Structure 1
Amino acid sequence: MTVTLYHNRACGTSRNVLALIRAAGIEPVVVEYLRTPPKRAELDVLASRLVVPVRDLLRERGTPYAELGLDNPALSDGQILDAIATHPILLNRPVVMTDTQARPCRPKEILFEILPQARPASA
């Protein structure tokens, strides 16, 4: 199984999710999306595996979310993905993608819903 982590090393939640994945013996493909923004085609793959609405990929705080009018509920999934492709800071990190599903992992415990083996024995 391939696990991909859309990661921001400045984010504590993202660092914690990466540590949990590695502690489970999985070395994920780490995409530092601010340094290497995903292409729209990559975002389409990510969206096709989401178990939540595409809108959940959007981060509001510290981004141009409001200025871009992304608070409009009538926006299509394609418009949201276009905005993320143009402004990768809008991606609500961390996002974990497996071969079959994807999910933003905020809070970090959401990781256990798509990677149950990442749950520490004491949790």
Structure 2
Amino acid sequence: MKATIWHNPKCGTSRKTLAILESLSKVEVEVIEYLKSPPTAEKLAQLYKDAGISPNEGLRLRGTDAEERGLTQATGTEVLAAMAADPNLIERPIVETEKGVRLCRPQDIVLEIL
């Protein structure tokens, strides 16, 4: 099985999720450091749709200026555009497999799609 993780190596939860993925021999892991290679608004929309959450639920508040920018009250389209322009606004980690997509907070949620 292939798993793609949108990863921030400075994030403890992201590192723990990656460690879970790498510990399983049945999983081929693709790591995308989203701060270096940000997903498009379209890709984010697909990930959130497949995860069953709204773009607003995938918005990172801690350590960002999302609230000051009014993004907590913005439309999903506005949030996606802001995330594509500033990937620091993307809550992490996001993992995609053939079984689905999850925002893995806490990290054990990744087990639902393995």
In 2, the alpha carbon distance for the partners of 1:77 and 1:19 equals 31
User: Which residue is equivalent to 2:65?
Assistant: 64
Contact 2:56/2:72 (CA < 8 Å) preserved in 1?
no
- How many equivalent pairs are there? 113
How big is the alpha-carbon RMSD for the aligned residues of Structure 1 and Structure 2? 1.5
Q: Higher helix proportion, which one? A: 2
Q: Following TM superposition, where does structure 1 have runs of at least 4 consecutive aligned residues deviating by more than 4 angstroms?
A: none
| Residue identity in the other structure for 1:76 | T
Superposition TM-score, scaled by structure 1 size: 0.82
In 2, the alpha carbon distance for the partners of 1:112 and 1:5 equals 13
> Once the 2 structures are TM-superposed, how far is the Cα of residue 2 of structure 1 from its aligned partner?
3.0
Structure 2, gaps ≥5 residues long: none
Q: Higher strand proportion, which one? A: 2
Superposition TM-score, scaled by structure 2 size: 0.88
Rg bigger for which structure? Answer: 1
User: Which residue is equivalent to 1:118?
Assistant: none
Structure 1, gaps ≥5 residues long: 116-123
Sequence identity percentage: 40
> Once the 2 structures are TM-superposed, how far is the Cα of residue 106 of structure 1 from its aligned partner?
0.9
- SS of the residue aligned with 1:71? helix
User: Which residue is equivalent to 2:40?
Assistant: 39
- SS of the residue aligned with 1:92? coil
